[in-house]
A and B are shown apart, each in its own frame.
Chain A
Amino acid sequence: MKQVLIFAEQTAGELRPVALELLGAGRQLADKLGASLSCVVMGHTITHLPSLLIAGGADLVYIADNPALETYRTLPYRRVFIDLIASMEEPPHIILLGSTTTGRDLAPRIAAYLETGLTADCTELDIGPYEHTSALDPTKVGLYENCLYAIRPSFGESLKARILGPWKNPQMATVRPSVMIALPVDTARQGAVQEIPVVLQAEDLGLVVLETLRAVSESVELAKADVIVSGGYGLGSTEGFGLIHELASCFENSAVGSSRKAVDSGWIAHAHQVGQTGKTVRPKLYIACGISGAIQHRVGMDKSATIIAINRDANAPIFKFAHYGIVGDLYQIIPEMIQQLKQGTPSNISKAGEANVLTYTL
């Protein structure tokens, strides 16, 4: 039977949201294809995960539970993945991974190993026919059914491109987090669980994780924050982020984000970057300070429930998609906001140590 296979990413025994989003997207593709939806999950002491994955839409869960897989490392995960595919009678029709740092690290290795096509960072997926007529490469000409349509923004996102590779299975794609919709959890769903062997080679084990420093700042991940205050090039300096942190600390469960230009300028670590080459976020409130609203930034945050923009240029593109805006100098507006927010909630005391930013330079 045709198979759609997804990679279910987990950290420390907790599924990443993108795992369930991929199951939601994969379920639709599998149903269109008349295929089964399977997923592979790797880690250590993760026997509680298969039931969650089945409730999330999987027909079959392949599980590799082994101490060597506890923390993600490219080569051990790659080995288990390619061995799994080699053990199948026919390769999966489609393989999907999240375009997280892990998915983008692993997927290209697997695609290159399998010599198959891989489309990066898709925002839409579909199944349909495709007729290749161009005779530039005669071996490709023909009508193909059941192709994966991997749709992604391109050229600075002013265009959407539909990318196809029906000539060889698996047809692979990575999918942007927070875009696909997970299915409602259905604990009555039935599915099978299959343990898969973990046979690592010496050369898979050369890289060792020495240390994991959790969290960006305030021990809150951008992806999980309710409120994100982001700073851009308009801050003018690394010191400007002090103010951004101070505003963030006025809110519960908040985090600090940034534009790429602020990161490129060396003012803040890449881990804070929101956008096409950073994180996709969907907080309840996003406050963009000194950010112009370039399309590459927008795609990372425009699903936020409420967007407030502070910019001194009334024509800045960010005001085209922000819900609220203040036109003016952020160095005047933010301190006033902090003051008014604190007055509004007199019991507010900023948490000790919260303004400490972890810096990552060795």
Chain B
Amino acid sequence: MNSFVLIKQVPDQSAKAGVNADGTIDRAKAKRMLNPFDCFALEAALQTKRLYGATVTAITMGPPPAIEILYEAIAHGVDRAVHLCDRRLAASDTLATAYALYNTVRYAGAFDLVFCGLQTTDGDTAQVGPQLAERLQVPQVTYCESFEVQRDKLIARRVTESGTQVVECPLPSVVTVANSAHRLAYKTLRGVQRVHQLQRDEVERNQVIRTVSLDDIQADPVRCGLKGSPTIVAATEKVGEIGGKCVLFQGKSIDTMVSGLLTDISLAELVQR
């Protein structure tokens, strides 16, 4: 069984570094991190390794530093990785990203499951997973909370507004993982040792982590980056901070504060009787 997991390096928005006064991000200065939503996808992929002996391949598209998250993935137990890194990918929107990742997935070989995060914290669209599935012409299970593989089928639970759905989906397919069931476990000792080894040994590194260009994966550069993106960000505008008036109860005894609150607002019609 082959599982792929798509992960992205994103700026750490909680760190102050690299966040400009106007709220935009200076990617050169910002701290970098593995997209938090992709941790859940990574854990889901590793679960197929633990339970079904799958070989797990991590795939990322991004500038050179993005190799850091591939090391991180290997430390968690991923077997091999592909890093798509090419200047011509700059300014890709989701359609162009999905096209480039589609070619990377094809380059990486046959798969049973492709796991994606729910969304990225910078691109923030939740579109790349389904757009990739469309390119690959396979079914998809989005908002997946937990799953099992039974013979050649995926049995998955997905969360929707009105409850949970259990679906049975043929393989191969694309799964986007919701953030709850799959908390990323600790790095494995073996994984961490392997990363140290790879960092020292360039020959082995190049075998385990393939860094590829658009030419290597035979992607059409016209469909990537700025040229391949049907949308652009035409303007940005700062959103004003709101400052409402809050009636604040503090520094008194608990029962005084609570009764103060409950007499201030009329909850009568909402209270259960």
Question: Which residues of A come within 8 Å of B, CB atoms?
Answer: 11, 16, 71, 74-75, 100-102, 104-105, 107-109, 111-113, 115-121, 130, 132, 136-137, 139-140, 149, 153-165, 167-168, 203, 206-216, 221-223, 226-227, 249-252, 254, 260, 263-266, 268-271, 273, 276-277, 279, 284-285, 302, 306, 308-309, 314, 319-328, 332-333, 336-337, 340-341, 344-345, 347-348, 350-351, 358, 360-362
Contacts and interface: CB of A to CB of B under 8 A. Distances in A.
28 contacts: A75-B139, A101-B159, A101-B160, A112-B131, A137-B226, A149-B234, A156-B121, A159-B238, A165-B231, A207-B141, A207-B168, A213-B164, A213-B166, A216-B163, A264-B179, A270-B145, A273-B179, A285-B270, A314-B248, A321-B246, A325-B247, A326-B249, A332-B254, A345-B272, A350-B272, A360-B181, A361-B146, A362-B148
Nearest to A314: B250
Contact of A336 (B142, B238, B258): B258
Interface in B101-149: 118-119, 121-122, 124-131, 133-135, 137, 139-143, 145-148
Contact of B23 (A75, A116, A159, A210): A159
A155 B270 CA distance: 37
Contacts, number: 309
B241 to A, nearest CB: 8
A278 to B, nearest CB: 9
Please classify how large the interface on chain B is, using the bins under 10, 10 to 19, 20 to 34, 35 or more. 35 or more
Contacts of B236: 154, 159-162
Chain B contact surface mostly? mixed
A120 B233 CA distance: 12
Contacts of A268: 180
Nearest to B130: A108
Contacts of B118: 277
Given A74-B140, A156-B121, A336-B258, A362 B163 contact: no
Interface string B231-265: 11111111101111111111100110111011011
A158 B23 contact: yes
Contacts of A74: 130, 139-140, 142
Contact of B272 (A116, A155, A214, A249): A249
A206 B148 contact: no
Contacts of B180: 263-264, 266, 268-270, 360
Interface of B: 13, 22-25, 36-37, 93-95, 98, 118-119, 121-122, 124-131, 133-135, 137, 139-143, 145-148, 155, 157-170, 178-181, 183, 226-227, 229-239, 241-251, 254-255, 257-259, 261-262, 264-265, 267-268, 270-273
A101 B167 CA distance: 15
Given A100-B161, A108-B131, A264-B36, A165 B232 contact: yes
Contacts of A140: 232
Contacts of A168: 230
Contacts of A252: 270-273
Nearest to B245: A323
B23 A155 contact: yes
Nearest to B264: A324
Given A167-B230, A221-B162, A348-B272, A327 B251 contact: yes
A260 B242 contact: no
Contacts of B25: 155
A215 B250 contact: no
A132 B143 CA distance: 37
Contacts of B249: 324-327
Given A210-B166, A223-B161, A344 B230 contact: no
Contact of A360 (B159, B161, B267): B159
B164 A163 contact: no
A340 B271 CA distance: 11
Contacts of B168: 207-208, 210
B147 A362 contact: yes
B39 to A, nearest CB: 9
Most chain A beta carbons < 10 A, residue from B36, B161, B239, B261: B161
Nearest to B260: A326
A344 B271 contact: yes
Contacts of A156: 13, 23, 121
Contacts of A277: 37, 118-119, 126, 179
Given A111-B95, A117-B93, A341-B262, A269 B273 contact: no
B159 A269 contact: yes
B167 to A, nearest CB: 5
A260 B181 CA distance: 13
Given A136-B226, A337-B258, A347-B273, A327 B169 contact: no
B125 A120 contact: yes
A347 to B, nearest CB: 5
Contacts of B255: 336, 340
Contact of A163 (B135, B165, B232, B270): B232
A104 B126 contact: yes
B165 A320 contact: no
A206 B130 contact: no
Contacts of A263: 179-180
B262 A109 contact: no
Contacts of B254: 328, 332-333, 336
Given A154-B236, A159-B236, A270-B143, A324 B179 contact: no
